[in-house]
A and B are shown apart, each in its own frame.
Chain A
Amino acid sequence: MNYDQARWTEGEEVYEPHLAEKRSTEVAVADSPLPDDLTRDELDLPDLSEPELARHYTRLSQMSYGVESGPIPLGSCTMKYNPTFTEDVAALPGAGTHPDRSEGTVQGSLELRYRLQEYLAAIGGMESVTLQPPAGAAGEFTGILVAKAYHEHHDEERSEIIVPESAHGTNFASAALAGYDVVELPSAEDGRVDVEALRAAVSEDTAALMLTNPNTLGLFERDIEEIAEVVHEAGGLLYYDGANLNALLGRARPGDMGFDVMHYNVHKTFATPHGGGGPGAGPVGVSEALAPFLPTPQVRATDSGYETFEPERTIGKVHGFAGNWLVLVKTYAYIARLGDAGLADASAKAVLNANYLASRIDYEIPFSPFHHEFVASAGRDAADVARRMLDYGVHPPTTKWPEAVDEALMTEPTEAETRDSLDHLARAFDRAAADSDADLEAAPERTAARRIDQASAARNPRLSWQALDE
């Protein structure tokens, strides 16, 4: 199967013209109700009719690719099908209240938040959950701030966070943002945490170890109990990066493995739409010892209803209001739709699909046994292979990361793919592998744009239509 993406051209030069090229109007801000010295003189913005806009955005959508267009097996991103009904429940009357409403008047929303806190706590094996962080990295930052507050409360000055070299870049960035020195932990030969190296790395300066399990190679950290013991004995905390939680639903829980704090990427694990890069939400779960430090407000049940409260030693707020609420509504709806059996089945099928796909492709896969994702080696330029796969009607895997695998193609098909679509994906892998260097160099040919000159985009940044003439 090949793929031809829609492309909208205007003459030979441009794609769908941008809005200002279609029609832009300068409006004088003259007879405003404000004095002249407080207002701008004019405003120059696109000025199109609704039918023109409807056509414009429809064309732009046709030059985009979502999980309903085809598989997006981006490793670590967990791009699965997003059921449409969750959009409808998030649009229900009553969902769109202002965040400053008094508590007595939004009991329904508070109950929903409370129930979701409980669901997530059960899924993660955690004591308490905050729904406030608006994304996974925001969750990491929140979790690290909570850990920091915990240590400070116990008069511990700890300056380091240990992060495995294969971890998500956000782990490093979040730890640094919280003011920690990042200690990078090398992996063992088998792709997992090197426990001896960990022993050597921990010290009285260790605030926490941030770990993904299964890790970014899809491998379960079998020594997790020992890892937890090493970190805890040094007085550090164990942080769970929830990016790969989809592999564990109902089968293992971070809390049971010894993790003290974790975040959930609800837009990954619970199929709330990624929206082209957000909004997501990154709730954080903690053990009992860390619960007093969670952000405010928290929601609790009382005899007469639900109320927010400020945890005893709260770190304060991590979102201007109370997080990405509509995403949380979708998350609740998705979890409730699946229930225990559905959640466990999602993991089972995600792991089966990854293993099946791996068994069907003719690539070297250096590390196993893996769970819901695997990392194949392209054996040539992974980005070229990825671009060629676009021509075969699939979104390619994550490329060139993790670095433990040469020219990595990090692949996560998720549970949402059928055997047929996995076979199709496998053919795309193998056809790209069989193609000549010249074929790869020419790719992609069937997408809205052909190969894009990224170097000149960075060298000569043109970041707005105002800058296009420069």
Chain B
Amino acid sequence: MSHDRRGPGAETGSPFAPQTAEETAAMLDAVGVESEEALFDIPEAVRFEGDLGIEPRGERELRGELASLLDGNDDLTEFLGRGHYDHYVPSMVDHLSDRSEFLSSYTQYQPEVAQGFLQALFEYQSMLVELTGLPIANCSMYDAASALGEAATLALRSRSVSGTRILVPEHLQSGRREVLENYLTGTDAVVETYPMDDGNVDVDALAESVDGDCAMVYAENPTVRGTVEENLQAVGDLADDDAVFCLGSDAVALALLSEPAAVGADVVVGDAALGLGTSGGMGLGLFACREGFLRQVPGRLVGASEDRSERRAYTLTLQTREQHIRRERATSNICTNQAWVALRVAMHAAWLGPDGLVSLAEDCVRHARDLAERLDGMDGITAPVHDRHHVREFAARTDRPAADVRADLEERGFAVHAIDDHLIQVCVTETNVEHADDLVEALEVVA
């Protein structure tokens, strides 16, 4: 057994319940009961008398247990993306976001005592406004998939939009599609795909598909295969008036690519791609929209106001949209969101600054282009399969079955996606570019 601190009440079961035996006795006395058990008003028939079978562990033991458990994951150099990206998170972000006033605080329902966090979220919203060109950004959804689902329900309840068809690209990260479908369970909307033409929206095919029954057109830039869309303005024009044009992107790409507002986007969703690293799939749902949707926005909004001293102050605002007030008529059921992640995203973006953010995005273009060129020079590989510009990632055609290439690469310490019988996908950012030579070397053998 390890030498763990058990607190002043050494006999207590929880190391985080600080009452001493004397305190407990005095408190029971003050309440006027004999025992803690007497406070539980649970009928005999539904009392639980068994064991849960969970053995308590000391802190030191647990660290060892978890380290050894997670050591069970193979140490691979990942060239994985498809909507979830690894960018270097500066040390400052970890240390400052871990300050307990941030990490262990609650939703800012008492704004006077939560000004700091509110300001940080206001700054996050402001950065998104700059990146998207849209005037309204909320302070987070769960992830890109949930943000897409919320965009679709927003489109369906918007008075200026009619119709029930939600059009999405045929190449879409599967989680986004499935979550979107689940968000639409309670509606009569249907999700339909439109074709891609060499990795971009097939505008002609889409034009045939867009009609008065189309509530939302969704496109991505970059797409799930990393291609940069070249026809967004045309997509925006198609969706003009009749349907919501929702554009998916991420905070890094947005620093470089055409401003969504400039190509007609009504809503921008996506994942931040900043502040978290790969983190096992945790995300942060970006959500920004045009002015007309202000009262329909899902999630929390921080607004600037004044306090009684006429100083600037921040508060959660327009809460009459939210579930704790509007209940079944709320714009969304979201309550707990990803506020702390939004704080980290703001910190990360601020640390990079405009120069750093743009140059990171430019590097993502160059790294993908350079690596694709090298792969294309190999026997058995054609890359990129789409004759487009790319950000971070690209698909490559393999003569051998993609699953075999992927498995053989794993043997050599690398992870890539196998996305089709003869398609692999490779993602390269500043965090793995130094291993690009090694990946190329491994592919020389296995491709």
Which residue of A is nearest B313, CB measured? A449
Which residue of B is nearest A89, CB measured? B66
The residues of B that contact A13 with a CB separation of less than 8 Å are: 311-312
Contact with A along B2-42 (1 / 0, CB 8 A): 00000000001111111100011011101111001101111
In the complex, B108 has a CB within 8 A of chain A: yes
Decide: A418 and B56 in contact? CB cutoff 8 A. Answer: no
Decide: A106 and B113 in contact? CB cutoff 8 A. Answer: no
Q: In whole angstroms, what is the CA distance A104 to B72 when docked?
A: 10
Q: In whole angstroms, what is the CA distance A104 to B180 when docked?
A: 29
| A45-B357, A275-B340, A324-B282 given; A38·B115 CB < 8 A | no
Which residue of A is nearest B53, CB measured? A122
Decide: A386 and B323 in contact? CB cutoff 8 A. Answer: no
Q: In whole angstroms, what is the CA distance A27 to B359 when docked?
A: 10
One of A100, A136, A333, A395 near B82 (C-beta < 8 A) = A100
| A98-B78, A276-B107, A464-B125 given; A320·B330 CB < 8 A | no
In the complex, B293 has a CB within 8 A of chain A: no
The residues of B that contact A137 with a CB separation of less than 8 Å are: 323, 333-336
In the complex, A380 has a CB within 8 A of chain B: no
Decide: A83 and B309 in contact? CB cutoff 8 A. Answer: no
The residues of A that contact B55 with a CB separation of less than 8 Å are: 336, 339-340
Decide: A349 and B41 in contact? CB cutoff 8 A. Answer: no
The residues of B that contact A341 with a CB separation of less than 8 Å are: 13, 56
Decide: A320 and B42 in contact? CB cutoff 8 A. Answer: no
The residues of B that contact A123 with a CB separation of less than 8 Å are: 52
Decide: B112 and A451 in contact? CB cutoff 8 A. Answer: yes
Stretch at the interface among A74-82, A194-202, A430-438: A74-82
The residues of B that contact A178 with a CB separation of less than 8 Å are: 185-186
Contact with A along B405-427 (1 / 0, CB 8 A): 01100100001010000000000
One of A19, A170, A346 near B14 (C-beta < 8 A) = A346
| A15-B313, A105-B410, A316-B182 given; A46·B353 CB < 8 A | yes
Residues facing B in A430-470 (CB within 8 A) are 444, 447-454, 456-458, 461-468
Decide: A39 and B144 in contact? CB cutoff 8 A. Answer: no
Kindly provide the distance from the CB of B56 to the nearest chain A CB, expressed in whole angstroms.
3
Decide: B31 and A173 in contact? CB cutoff 8 A. Answer: no
Decide: A81 and B278 in contact? CB cutoff 8 A. Answer: no
Residues facing B in A156-200 (CB within 8 A) are 168-170, 172-180, 182
Decide: A47 and B354 in contact? CB cutoff 8 A. Answer: yes
In the complex, A318 has a CB within 8 A of chain B: yes
The residues of B that contact A64 with a CB separation of less than 8 Å are: 101-102, 105, 113-117
Residues facing B in A85-118 (CB within 8 A) are 85, 87-89, 91-102, 104-109, 111-112
Decide: A44 and B354 in contact? CB cutoff 8 A. Answer: yes
Decide: A45 and B130 in contact? CB cutoff 8 A. Answer: yes
In the complex, A60 has a CB within 8 A of chain B: yes
| A320-B176, A333-B66 given; A54·B129 CB < 8 A | no
In the complex, B445 has a CB within 8 A of chain A: no
In the complex, A329 has a CB within 8 A of chain B: yes
Decide: B54 and A57 in contact? CB cutoff 8 A. Answer: no
In the complex, B137 has a CB within 8 A of chain A: yes
Kindly provide the distance from the CB of A404 to the nearest chain B CB, expressed in whole angstroms.
15
The residues of B that contact A93 with a CB separation of less than 8 Å are: 70
| A34-B228, A97-B73 given; A53·B351 CB < 8 A | yes
Q: On chain B, which size bracket covers the interface?
A: 35 or more
Which residue of B is nearest A258, CB measured? B46
Stretch at the interface among B209-217, B299-307, B378-386, B435-443: B299-307
Contact with B along A259-286 (1 / 0, CB 8 A): 0000001010001011111111010000
One of B73, B136, B187 near A179 (C-beta < 8 A) = B187
Q: On chain A, which size bracket covers the interface?
A: 35 or more
Decide: B102 and A85 in contact? CB cutoff 8 A. Answer: no
Kindly provide the distance from the CB of B325 to the nearest chain A CB, expressed in whole angstroms.
7
Decide: A66 and B102 in contact? CB cutoff 8 A. Answer: yes
The residues of A that contact B84 with a CB separation of less than 8 Å are: 98-100, 320-321
Count: A-B pairs, CB below 8 Å: 668
Decide: A134 and B142 in contact? CB cutoff 8 A. Answer: yes
| A325-B281, A356-B30 given; A27·B354 CB < 8 A | yes
Residues facing B in A387-441 (CB within 8 A) are 387, 390, 395-396, 398, 401, 415-419, 422
The residues of A that contact B312 with a CB separation of less than 8 Å are: 13-15
Kindly provide the distance from the CB of B73 to the nearest chain A CB, expressed in whole angstroms.
4
| A47-B355, A324-B282 given; A34·B389 CB < 8 A | yes
Decide: A98 and B86 in contact? CB cutoff 8 A. Answer: yes
Which residue of A is nearest B47, CB measured? A252
Residues facing A in B329-372 (CB within 8 A) are 329-330, 332-341, 343, 347, 349-351, 353-355, 357-358, 362, 365-366, 369
Decide: B113 and A85 in contact? CB cutoff 8 A. Answer: no
Decide: B51 and A16 in contact? CB cutoff 8 A. Answer: no
Most buried by A among B126, B129, B302, B322: B126
Decide: A101 and B179 in contact? CB cutoff 8 A. Answer: no
Which residue of B is nearest A368, CB measured? B41
| A179-B187, A222-B43, A449-B111 given; A169·B324 CB < 8 A | yes
One of A27, A174, A453, A464 near B135 (C-beta < 8 A) = A464
Decide: A277 and B300 in contact? CB cutoff 8 A. Answer: yes
One of A43, A182, A222, A390 near B130 (C-beta < 8 A) = A43
Contact with A along B86-123 (1 / 0, CB 8 A): 10001010101111111111111111111111011111
Q: In whole angstroms, what is the CA distance A98 to B261 when docked?
A: 31
Residues facing A in B146-186 (CB within 8 A) are 146, 153, 173-176, 178-179, 181-183, 185-186
Decide: B280 and A224 in contact? CB cutoff 8 A. Answer: no
In the complex, B376 has a CB within 8 A of chain A: no
Stretch at the interface among B57-65, B236-244, B394-402: B57-65
Kindly provide the distance from the CB of B7 to the nearest chain A CB, expressed in whole angstroms.
10
- Given contacts A92-B67, A137-B333, A449-B307, could you give 14 more A-B pairs where the C-beta distance is less than 8 Å? A25-B353, A33-B369, A40-B259, A40-B262, A47-B354, A93-B70, A102-B407, A169-B323, A250-B52, A317-B178, A329-B66, A339-B57, A371-B41, A444-B113
Counting from the closest, the 3 A-B pairs by CB-CB distance are A179-B186, A339-B56, A275-B340
